[in-house]
Amino acid sequence: MNRVRAAAPQLAGLVPYDPKYLPAEAFLSANENPRDVDGELRELIGRRIAKVPLNRYPDPLAGGLRDMIAEANGLDRDHVLIGNGGDELLFNLALAWGGPGRTCLNFPPTFSVYAANARLTNTAVVDIARTEDFSIDEEAAFERLAVGDIDYVIVASPNNPTGLRCPQAFIERLLDATDALVMVDEAYFEFSRQTARPLLATHENLVILRTFSKAFSLAGVRLGYILANPAVIREFVKVRQPYSVDAVSQAVGEVVFEHRARFEPGIREIIEERGRVAEALRATPGIVPFPSDSNWILLRMEDAGEAWEYLYEHGVLVRDFSATPLLEGCLRVTMGTPEQNDRFISLLRAFVAERGSRRAQAARD
């Protein structure tokens, strides 16, 4: 047959996730670590990979890495599950707790993958918009939860792309107020230094998501994990692809996790750069940076789309959110190396100055 019947109805009109990754000299658009894994560690990784049997299926649950992560978090292995990036585990959440007739609670503007996964799995999404300063409208959230039909909730802390972590007291109240599964997405917790982990001991309905893609420089490898109570992990195991975490990724992850202290200086540098860049942005007329607990800064300005173009033409790629509801006029810049950040700041200042003189010229004409 030279035709094909329609795909599943929930795909109609769905736009695939597009990270808007374009060739550039400075990639400040995807919240990656600007520094690759160092040479010494690469050497160790190479040696470990050389011993991986490539003809055998991998350990389905990545036992080695699972035990290391469990131990580092004071838990045992049945509280941990490794995934093919955090993204796979976010999809597994929608498969296991969502589906037709089920509902999730979402706090936009936030990571767009949450709503996309809900849509793919025919899960209804209830959106509670964040307030002007991008904090969660707590009373609206509790009021909605009281209806009793919410099956899962996702709270990103820090929230991507807005930047701040979620108050710990709210997370605790949320966990107490509902039996819905509450996912706290801690993809950037190494930069925010705050975790909901202690609440696992008292809250069966908590699941925490982490990733190797940001602080640990492994976005190219695809490794993430969740921490949760065993009853929750068991449900995630039912929906996952058995071999989603390949043997090479497991080996890389083990070496990197074992040596994770090496990433500390880089993390500290990014936190310092965040302060320095925010200050430079505040000192630039017409630019309003939002506070951040993560490895990026969201800023608001006039002509954000044009500024994005200008930066891109000069080799610096940032993320344009100006077409996203509630993020009008906003760009997100990932903290790069100090040199990349300097370049970003001076280009943005040049854009603002050029626009200023163009306007003055236009007013004279």
Report the residue from 34, 58, 86, 109 that binds ligand PLP according to the rule CB under 6 A: 86
Q: How far is the CB of 47 from ligand PLP (least distance, A)?
A: 25
Site for ligand PLP in 128-157 (CB under 6 A): 156
CB of 15: closest distance to ligand PLP in angstroms?
Answer: 19
Select from 36-44, 82-90, 247-255, 309-317 the region that touches ligand PLP (CB under 6 A).
82-90
Q: Which one, 222 or 343, has the nearer CB to ligand PLP?
A: 222
The correct pick among 33, 162, 213, 340 for binding ligand PLP (CB under 6 A) is: 213
Residue 75, classed as helix, strand or coil, is coil
Q: Which of 261, 250, 184 is nearest to 218 (CA)?
A: 250
Complete DSSP assignment for 308-361: HHHHHHTTEE-EE-TTSTT-TTEEEEE---HHHHHHHHHHHHHHHHHHHHHHHH
Contact flag: residue 246 with ligand PLP (CB under 6 A):
no
Whole-angstrom distance, CA of residue 181 vs CA of residue 97: 8
Q: Least distance from C-beta 332 to ligand PLP, angstroms?
A: 11
90 or 316: CB nearest ligand PLP: 90
Q: Which stretch binds ligand PLP (CB under 6 A): 80-88, 176-184, 261-269, 282-290?
A: 80-88
Q: Which of residues 224-243 bind ligand PLP (CB under 6 A)?
A: 224
Pairwise CA distance, residues 13 & 116, whole Å: 12
Residue 219 interacting with ligand PLP (CB under 6 A): yes
Secondary structure class of 138 (helix, strand, coil): helix
Q: Quote the Cα angle for 111-113-117, to 5°.
A: 140
According to CB under 6 A, which one of 45, 61, 62, 87 is a site residue for ligand PLP?
A: 87
Rule CB under 6 A: choose which of 111, 263, 296, 308 binds ligand PLP. Answer: 111
The residues, any chain, with a CB within 8 Å of residue 12's CB and separated by 6 or more, are: 6
Comparison of 215 and 347: residue with beta carbon closer to ligand PLP:
215
| Cα 217 to Cα 37: distance, rounded to the nearest angstrom | 6
Using left for φ > 0, alpha for ψ between -120 and 50, and beta otherwise, residue 235 falls in alpha
**Neighbour order of strands in the sheet with 103-106:** 80-83, 224-228, 206-211, 181-185, 152-156, 103-106, 124-127
CB of 212 to ligand PLP, least distance (A): 7
Nearer to ligand PLP, 31 or 106 (CB): 31
CB atoms closer than 10 angstroms to residue 309? 13
Rounded-to-integer distance, Cα 329 and Cα 91, Å: 30
Binds ligand PLP (CB under 6 A): choice among 185, 190, 254, 320: 185
Between residues 127 and 303, which has the closer beta carbon with respect to ligand PLP?
Answer: 127
Contacts to ligand PLP by CB under 6 A: 31, 85-87, 111, 156, 160, 185, 187, 211, 213, 219, 224
